[in-house]
Copies of this chain bind each other. A is one copy, B any other.
Amino acid sequence: MPVETIDRSATDMKAEAAQVSADIDAFFDGLLTPVQDGRERLFAAMRHAALGGGKRLRPLLTVAASRLFAIDRDRALRVGGAIEAIHVYSLIHDDLPCMDDAELRRGKPTVHTVFGEADAVLAGDSLHALAFEILADPATHEDPWVRSDLVLELARAAGTSGMAGGQMMDLAAEGQALDLPAITRLQQLKTGALIEYAVEAACIMAKLPADARTPYRGYARNVGLAFQIADDLIDHNGDTAAAGKPTGRDAEAGKATFVSLLGEDRARQQAQMLIEQAIEHLADHGDEADLLRGIAQYAVARNH
């Protein structure tokens, strides 16, 4: 790509990322209206986790992929909101003392440190259910086949063959020296499946048959893996303030990461190569894919 195209995509990407963040906040703000009947703490805990933080990478991917198929942006945002609800629930549960025992997330104290463990478990469970409530609502899409498919694929991305399965592998790997194929597989489940779903959701809304989704899933798989390598680099080099969470924890826990296995330089090269491959998958598209290209570039250029 010529330099001015990359610059334009980067500017567009930052503007759209900021807009999606604001829109997702407004979406959760509207859904999570506090009540005064014994469930106050539940709503407060859900709002603490879901509002005002995070990169909102997943909804941004859904909005960006929706541009390829001229899908209504509001519709993409609702689906992106459901995906973010799943992501936030997983962060709440992963941060629990019995899991990663984290005190800081997105620059704020974690839910259980503020509200206690019981509220954190329930806030996560409630966001989990909320995601499916959003997707199955006729307001999300008028075609019930689309709604049903969105639910099916999200449930797969969240369950044993996705996020929860990956987190289990991660816990089981403590104190073990995983190799590169094992780390890659772990990442594909733990974080890759939901990132892939964020792009595939736009394909589902566009009613693309499964085999026509291949390049977009390829794009998402490459970006997801590059994003994880970048995360490992940030954990390896970054500072807590920029990351919004403690860094250096993987090394402390003796966990193998892409950086510990490849070394810093090769990890960086690998991420760059994945991004080039990701963009290659979009070769049939013109300007309408610029936002996806910008996100891919950002995935490795960021420092938080």
Give the distance to chain B from A157, nearest Cβ to Cβ, in Å: 9
Cβ-defined partner of A172 (8 Å) among B38, B46, B160: B38
Task: With A41-B168, A41-B172 as known contacts, state yes or no: A98 contacts B121, CB within 8 Å.
Answer: yes
Closest 9 CB pairs of A and B: A129-B159, A98-B117, A133-B155, A136-B152, A38-B169, A144-B144, A136-B151, A42-B168, A132-B155
The verdict on A158 contacting chain B, using a C-beta distance below 8 Å, is yes
A42 B160 Cβ-Cβ under 8 A? yes
Give the interface size bracket for A toward B: 35 or more
Please state if B129 and A42 are interface contacts (CB–CB under 8 Å). Answer: no
| 30 intermolecular pairs with C-beta atoms under 8 Å apart | A37-B185, A38-B168, A38-B169, A38-B172, A38-B182, A39-B168, A39-B169, A39-B172, A41-B168, A42-B165, A42-B168, A43-B160, A93-B121, A98-B118, A99-B118, A122-B168, A125-B128, A128-B128, A129-B155, A129-B159, A130-B160, A132-B132, A132-B151, A133-B156, A135-B151, A136-B151, A137-B152, A143-B144, A144-B147, A148-B148
Kindly report which residue of chain B lies nearest to residue A152, judged by CB atoms: B136
User: Which of chain B's residues has its CB closest to A137's CB?
Assistant: B152
Q: Could you tell me the dominant secondary structure of chain A's interface residues?
A: helix
Contact A160 B121 (CB under 8 A): no
- Enumerate chain B residues within 8 angstroms of A162, measured Cβ to Cβ: 129
Q: Which residues of B contact A114 (CB under 8 A)?
A: none
Q: Which residues of B contact A93 (CB under 8 A)?
A: 121-122, 125
Q: Residues of B contacting A144 with CB < 8 Å?
A: 143-145, 147-148
A167-B129 CB under 8 A given contacts A172-B39, A172-B41: no
Q: Is the CB of A173 within 8 A of B38?
A: yes
The residue on B at minimum CB distance from A158 is B129
Interface residues of A in 223-281 (CB under 8 A from B): none
Check: A103 CB closer than 8 A to any chain B CB. Answer: no
Cβ contact within 8 Å between B41 and A122: no
> Whole-angstrom distance between the alpha carbons of A16 and B78 in the complex?
42
Q: Do A126 and B39 have beta carbons less than 8 Å apart?
A: no
Within the complex, the shortest CB–CB distance from A142 to chain B, in Å, comes to 11
Residues in chain B near residue A145, CB distance under 8 A: 144
A149 at the interface (CB under 8 A from B): yes
Q: Are A133's CB and B116's CB within 8 A?
A: no
